Amino acid sequence: MKSVRQAVLILLAALVPAGVTAIVHPRRPPWSEETLAPGEEKLRTVLSWGSVVLWVDARSQREYEAEHVPGSLLLNLEAWDRLFPRFLDQWSPGRKIVVYCSSRSCEMSHEIAARLEQNGISPVYVLKGGWEEWKAAK
């Protein structure tokens, strides 16, 4: 029992300087660091670009009709032949495009972004966190 008490005391003694370092050290590591996959961009950054962004919603038509980023265009692989010409009507060379799908884990936005880039359309970004991130921020 005594050894347990000693271990707890040592732990507490170590926690005090560690806590102070975590709070005041100028080169302390961040508590959490957002990592971006290639082609991804954070919502905060995208919002800072303003109205030049052409938003692309890569979710299903049903999800898009329920709610979407204002001004966004629906474009998914399922109805590509029907939706891509509509996208082209709104697109202009050099305009920033931001693609999102439903959640952090969905891959559709990356696939749509890749297909746009294969067609010479750039720059294209994927919104990190997708629709869930947008909803949480609103």
Partner 1 sequence: MRTPVFILFFSLFACSTYGQLVFDQPEQSFKARPEQEMIVAKYRFTNAGKELVKIENVQTSCGCTTAGLKKTEYAPGESGEIEAKFSFGGRIGKQEKAIRVTTAQAREQPTILRLLVDIEDPIQIQPELVFWRVGERPNTKKIQITVAGNSSVKILSVASDNPSIKAQLSEVKPGKEYEIEITPTDVSQPAGATFLIRTDYPTQNPRTRYAYARVK
- Nearest CA-CA partner of 38 in 109, 102, 95: 109
Site string for partner 1, 46-85 (x = CB under 8 A): --------------x-x-------------xxx-xx--xx
Q: By CB under 8 A, how many residues form the interface with partner 1?
A: 20
- Nearest CA-CA partner of 99 in 86, 117, 112: 112
CA 83, CA 71: separation in Å to the nearest integer?
15
Residue from 26, 27, 120, 138 in contact with partner 1 (CB under 8 A): 120
The answer to whether 132 contacts partner 1 (rule: CB under 8 A) is: no
> In this structure, are residues 65 and 79 in contact, taking their beta carbons and an 8 Å threshold?
no
Q: Which residues bind partner 1 (CB under 8 A)?
A: 60, 62, 76-78, 80-81, 84-85, 88-89, 91-93, 108, 111, 118-121
